[in-house]
Structure 1
Amino acid sequence: MIRKKILFVEDDEPKLEQVLALLETFTEIEVIVAKSLNGACKCIDREDYDLVLLDMSLPTFDNGMTVGASGRQKTFGGREILMYLWENEKDLPVLVLTQFKDFPGDEGPVNLPQLHAQLKKDFPGLYRDHIYFEHNNDAWKTTLTNLLCGIMTC
């Protein structure tokens, strides 16, 4: 069996651990983790993936040993990664996994349905869907499992 490779871009350790625990139940999936905008772009340049699972709010760089070493937190860092994939003509499905229902935007707050519609419009074929993550509710597990199986044919 050929294993599918997922790039999982996430900087929040508790969320990362919960999602990895679910992904590890899929024996046919290999997961590579990046924890920043810059780290994800380096991974994309080095390897090919079958899917990207992407947080929306990300730091610019991986965590360092000092405060602020991870660079500036970018509210729409995930969108920048989608743009990077688009510009580099990487044709692979992207799922956004976020724990925020609203994002501060330049012209006021952007809610999750608005973000979904904008990403669908701006990145057709690349952006597939989003999953709303909550630490104390397992509904995200079912949603993520169904989306993964639909895209990667589990």
Structure 2
Amino acid sequence: MKLNVLVVEDDEFKQRQIVDFLGQQDWCGDSIIACSVVGGIAQIDESEFDLVILDMALPNYDGGSDAGQGLGGIAVFRYLRQIAPRIPVVVLTQFEALREGSALVDTDTLKSRLEHEFGQQFAALAKYKIASDEWKHCLNLVADSVRNK
């Protein structure tokens, strides 16, 4: 079974790396890209997905300059939970900490919050690093789990 994947990522380089990786995987069918909170929500409304790869530091709108919204991805996740609570989400971030208002939220705290709020729909939090394949391994594990359900 091939999985249709929604990638919600505003960083063009990271987005290209993810899409290139997905294109090499036999488990990946179509991959659709969104670049913002509004773009991610629109894609959720327009298409059906088996897996979502979600960045947390997203602008509200495509081409938006408000990328400082450190936890914008949570809005996309909350919307997805309302529409399709069974679609697993992998949070893929390149930051060790994200800004929430005037505070910083480290990835361990973020992971705990996502597990608490989203339960099993939150499949994993992977740290994106150019020099590491750990995030790719994480995506493969989640994809295998989704395909074997």
**TM-score (normalised: structure 1):** 0.86
**1:121 aligned partner, one-letter code:** H
**1:25 aligned partner, one-letter code:** Q
Q: 1:21 Cα deviation (Å)?
A: 1.3
3-state DSSP class of the match of 1:62? Answer: coil
- In structure 2, distance between residues paired with 1:104 and 1:60: 15
Identity %: 29
Question: Which of 126, 130, 133 is the matching residue for 2:128?
Answer: 133
- In structure 2, distance between residues paired with 1:139 and 1:92: 22
Q: 1:10 Cα deviation (Å)?
A: 0.6
Q: 1:71 Cα deviation (Å)?
A: 4.8
More helix by share: 2
- In structure 1, distance between residues paired with 2:117 and 2:85: 15
Question: Which of 94, 105, 109 is the matching residue for 1:110?
Answer: 105
**1:51 aligned partner, one-letter code:** L
Spell out, residue by residue over 1:55-100, the C-alpha distance to the aligned partner (whole angstroms, 9 max, x if none): 010111112xxxxxx2522211111111111233542101100001
Q: If you compute each CA radius of gyration, which structure gives the higher value, 1 or 2?
A: 1
**TM-score (normalised: structure 2):** 0.88
Q: Unaligned regions of 5+ residues in structure 1, if any? A: 64-69
Q: Which residue of 1 aligns with 2:55?
A: 55
Q: Which residue of 1 aligns with 2:41?
A: 41
The verdict on how the C-alpha distance between 1:106 and 1:61 changes in structure 2, with shifts beyond 3 A counting, is: closer
Q: Unaligned regions of 5+ residues in structure 2, if any? A: none
Tell me the C-alpha RMSD between the 2 structures.
1.7
5 Å-filtered alignment, 1:1-154, equals: 2-29=1-28, 30-63=30-63, 70-73=64-67, 74-106=69-101, 108-153=103-148
**1:19 aligned partner, one-letter code:** I
2:57–2:71 CA contact under 8 A, matched in 1:
yes
Q: How many residues align?
A: 146
3-state DSSP class of the match of 1:58? Answer: coil
